[in-house]
Structure 1
Amino acid sequence: MSTINRKRRAVVGGLSTLALAPSAALAAAKGAGKGAARGTAQPNILFILADDLGWGDLGVYGQTEFRTPHLDKLARQGLRLTQAYSNSAVCSATRFGLITGRYQYRLRGGLEEPIAGTAGNHGLPLEHPTLPSLLKKAGYNTALVGKWHLGYLPTFGPLKSGYDSFFGNYGGAIDYFTHKPGVGPDVKEDLFEGEVPVSQVGYYTDLLGERAAHYIGKQEPGKPFFLSLHYTAPHWPWEGPKDEEVARQVGNIFHYDGGNLETYGRMVEALDASIGRVLEALERRGLAENTIVIFTSDNGGERFSRTWPFTGQKTELLEGGIRVPGLVRWPARIKPGQVSPQVAISMDWLPTLLAAAGSAPDPAYPPDGANLLPVLLGEQGVQPRTLYWRYKANAQRALRDGDWKYLKIRSQEFLFNLAGDQRERANLAQREPARLAALRAQWEQWDAGMLPISADVRTHGVGGRVQADKYSPESNDG
């Protein structure tokens, strides 16, 4: 083994040891948090999550068919990650990872791909610490505007897991105009104020931006806030802000018989404009300087997304299904105009944001994610990472260790060097059998520590189509 590889493995091993040692992780997080908070008040946090947005769907990531000026400006004002990943290739599983800072496979609800409809019994356990609950303990006001998708009332919900207030939808997808998770007069709207059903008129992307801007406008001075703004855009159904007539014609919420690149572009442009209004609200209140703004997606893009140069899409563990945009702006601490190759994943945001707030994860639930705050602040260089995924559909498994990626789809195994083969075309499995065997064993050792995927776990097939024997009108695809 070369000296470089020995050093790299030593660093990776050190990070793994940190993740497995709660006391060491707690001490490190507390230290980083104190450093982050030094000389400044606790930052506000605005976490913006898109739904099914492809890695290349923003101008700063190469999109040329439509414009995203507000998000492009956000990237220029802060740091853009080129190797950000989602915890899963579908949304509710990623949301488990995001809100807990841990692999979703540690929780039964996190095995669902995505979590089932209103009759489902699975969701985020109320006793589990979450990013909002931990920030709330650190003195933050907390709110979720938009999509929850981590379990249904009466058992589960945002107000039961750390959020002070909630406006949005509990399920995986709703029509942008009717706000229903299906079609027909008997289907109820999935729009709630807290735990009370409400009805509002308007394009959902616009409604969420307006509510988020209103929330920012009424924050009390000196009290930090954590606002999760989780859009459903640009998830299907394929409806732009002027496509209300299309909404009346949609015969199935999955909308497989509609959409095109032009409509998709209008949906993303509406998302960008909505985010622009929220960022403007920060400016009006004089809060932009000490507010951390994060923008990312819950998984890779779907059928109309741009994922170039990657292959694959939502529901696949190819790069196109799990590589996502990642933007971070914090004018008080992060230098503008940066582009970072740091490998990151959804569950990193919990330890990272807690450190920025001067707090730390619950030692009884040590995070699998890494605190990347020192990297974002320029206090450390790029850190090597080892990340794992699995997905029941097509028996997929994946591991990224440094630049190497191990991928298995059904019975086929692949070995890629992502540094030189981002499109995952040159399978090096036969050329490097020892490395393949080592990564396979590494994945299997990790997998043994997660909950098994039982036969009753619900999943989706490739391309986002629900398995025929699992489909129901309330299935609420992620």
Structure 2
Amino acid sequence: MTNFVFILADDLGYADLGCYGGRAPEISPALDRMAAQGMRFTHAYSNSPVCSPTRFALITGRYQYRLRGAAEEPLTGKFRGSTTVGLPPEHPTLPSQLKAAGYQTALVGKWHLGYPPHFGPHKSGYEHHFGPLSGGVSYFTHLDRGGDVDLVEDGEPANHQGAYLTDLLSDRAVNFVNARSADRQPFLLSLHYTAPHWPWETRHGRAVPEITGSTLGHLHGGSIHTYHQMIREMDEGIGRLLDALDAGGLGEDTLVVFTSDNGGERFSDNWPLVGGKMDLTEGGIRVPCIARWPKSITPGGVSAQHHMTMDWTATMMAAAGVVADTAYPTDGVALQPALADAGHAFARPMYWRMKHREQRALRDGRWKYLKVDEHEYLFDVETDERERANLAGREPARLAAMREAWKVWDRSMEPIPDDAAVSLMYGVADMPQR
């Protein structure tokens, strides 16, 4: 049986890694090696330009808009005790369905899909969990924005104060793989780093003053050098994990996927894309994505197949021979044809909407329809990935057709609740410029 490791970085930019043309290529040797051993995707997209909604889509394999909890971003501590804002335990998930098929399931890292007692990793199919429940915590004190310690192990508080969170997560992931090397039980390991999400702290560079409570924010300190070092430290852990898979004889039939939950933030490199986190421009939703699966992927492939986060859910379920619950049909599309042939491409329309600035987007083939507030755009993103040449005036029929297609899709989703709020993750001066 095929094993699965899904590694999710937090707020990583499209061009941050060396294998994506990053301007500091030495920061990602393990991921660069993973790309050389597998396949690198140049048109991979996150389900959302913000954190929690993408995670709802990943765990369910469905558009996040189908769930009330995904309408809120971020899911902060104010939702502790909520019975509505979170992932409903009755909803089938990737881990719950793989678990039913005999897989060991573990989440190491960030949950961010609702708070106990009504929601949590163990209620949604993970047998083991170690990591924070909220969106952003201090890397050393593990305090959330409310000043509470947010590091748990299987539902109980975990005291590792002073230990660097990225290293803690890497160590736990390696230990999990080593245990599976011994018992040979098939597994799903979700390794969801908080790096390189703020606060800006490296292994040897704790933030000053100490980040606690309401001072935990993305505008406090940081530098491009700190940000790069945070990526290096995450990359080191990924390298150790890949080595553990190979040393334990598990590498050949383990599908390892690495990507980001959304586009990069203030210190990220998104070149040549425009915009970033919170935006439906390419910089907010196009993300790095690497897959390694020696049994099924020829090394060194580069694929232009465009796809979304939730397509990996469909891919893993297909590889495991698991059929989605008919009451909750998947919106994801299995990527096996692209994995088998890097030059293969198939049609994959992809839709987004965002309450922040009333954004909507549709990518279909080489074309992208984008609306921000009352402004409409039509881009050929294969030739104009910076989204500078608005072809709406030259292609009115195509614009109208894509606008209507988006509306038809939107009507098939749940409406955005009037009381749903999206907190701005940027200050006004930090908003991406068009």
TM-score range (shorter-chain normalised) is over 0.9
* Residue 208 (structure 2) aligns with: 246
* Residue 224 (structure 1) aligns with: 186
375-384 or 312-321, which deviates more:
375-384
* Residue 432 (structure 2) aligns with: none
| 1:371 equivalent in alignment to 2:331 | no
Contact kept in structure 2, 1:89 and 1:322, CA below 8 Å: yes
Contact kept in structure 2, 1:98 and 1:350, CA below 8 Å: yes
Q: Distance in 2 between matches of 1:69 and 1:427?
A: 38
* Residue 51 (structure 2) aligns with: 91
- Summarize the alignment of residues 270-289 of structure 1 with structure 2, pairs less than 5 Å apart: 270-289=233-252
* Residue 115 (structure 2) aligns with: 152
Q: Distance in 1 between matches of 2:120 and 2:152?
A: 11
Compute the displacement of 1:353 (Å). Answer: 0.3
* Residue 447 (structure 1) aligns with: 410
* Correspondence for 1:209 among 170, 173, 191: 170
Secondary structure at the aligned position of 1:248 is classed as coil
Q: Distance in 1 between matches of 2:64 and 2:74?
A: 12
The residue identity in structure 2 corresponding to 1:209 is: S
Q: Distance in 1 between matches of 2:271 and 2:23?
A: 12
* Distance 1:457-1:464 versus aligned 2 partners, 3 A rule: farther
* Residue 10 (structure 2) aligns with: 51
* Correspondence for 1:189 among 145, 149, 157: 149
* Distance 1:165-1:247 versus aligned 2 partners, 3 A rule: farther
170-179 or 243-252, which deviates more:
243-252
Contact kept in structure 2, 1:90 and 1:299, CA below 8 Å: yes
* Residue 33 (structure 2) aligns with: 73
* Residue 32 (structure 1) aligns with: none
Structure 2 gaps of 5+ residues are: 429-434
Compute the displacement of 1:291 (Å). Answer: 1.1
Contact kept in structure 2, 1:315 and 1:464, CA below 8 Å: no
Compute the displacement of 1:403 (Å). Answer: 0.8
**How many residues get paired?**
421
Compute the displacement of 1:279 (Å). Answer: 1.3
* Residue 101 (structure 1) aligns with: 61
Percent of aligned pairs with the same residue? 54
Q: Distance in 1 between matches of 2:299 and 2:19?
A: 14
Secondary structure at the aligned position of 1:246 is classed as coil
Q: Deviations over 1:24-66 (max 9, x none)?
A: xxxxxxxxxxxxxxxxxx1111110000000111100011224
| 1:140 equivalent in alignment to 2:103 | yes
Secondary structure at the aligned position of 2:256 is classed as strand
Secondary structure at the aligned position of 1:226 is classed as strand
| 1:313 equivalent in alignment to 2:276 | yes
Contact kept in structure 2, 1:393 and 1:462, CA below 8 Å: no
**What TM-score, normalized to structure 2?**
0.94
The residue identity in structure 1 corresponding to 2:204 is: K
143-152 or 326-335, which deviates more:
326-335
Compute the displacement of 1:249 (Å). Answer: 5.7
- Summarize the alignment of residues 258-407 of structure 1 with structure 2, pairs less than 5 Å apart: 258-378=221-341, 381-407=344-370
Secondary structure at the aligned position of 2:383 is classed as coil
* Root-mean-square deviation (Å): 1.6
Q: Distance in 1 between matches of 2:166 and 2:155?
A: 20
Q: Distance in 1 between matches of 2:348 and 2:233?
A: 35
Q: Distance in 2 between matches of 1:261 and 1:255?
A: 13
* Correspondence for 1:111 among 71, 87, 93: 71
Compute the displacement of 1:247 (Å). Answer: 5.9
Secondary structure at the aligned position of 2:291 is classed as strand
Q: Deviations over 1:184-243 (max 9, x none)?
A: xxx221000111111113110000000110111112433101100000000000111111
Compute the displacement of 1:455 (Å). Answer: 2.1
* Distance 1:314-1:379 versus aligned 2 partners, 3 A rule: closer
Q: Distance in 2 between matches of 1:195 and 1:263?
A: 32
Deviating beyond 6 angstroms after TM superposition, the runs of 4 or more aligned structure 1 residues are none
The residue identity in structure 2 corresponding to 1:212 is: A
Q: Distance in 2 between matches of 1:119 and 1:448?
A: 28
Secondary structure at the aligned position of 1:441 is classed as helix
* Residue 431 (structure 2) aligns with: none
Q: Distance in 2 between matches of 1:315 and 1:110?
A: 14
* Residue 3 (structure 1) aligns with: none
Compute the displacement of 1:93 (Å). Answer: 0.4
Q: Distance in 1 between matches of 2:37 and 2:78?
A: 41
Q: Distance in 2 between matches of 1:344 and 1:255?
A: 29
Q: Distance in 2 between matches of 1:464 and 1:357?
A: 44
The residue identity in structure 2 corresponding to 1:62 is: G
* Distance 1:454-1:464 versus aligned 2 partners, 3 A rule: farther
* Residue 423 (structure 1) aligns with: 386
* Correspondence for 1:61 among 14, 20, 32: 20
The residue identity in structure 2 corresponding to 1:83 is: H
Contact kept in structure 1, 2:366 and 2:381, CA below 8 Å: yes
Q: Distance in 1 between matches of 2:417 and 2:237?
A: 40
Q: Deviations over 1:356-403 (max 9, x none)?
A: 112221122111110111221239921111000011111111110111
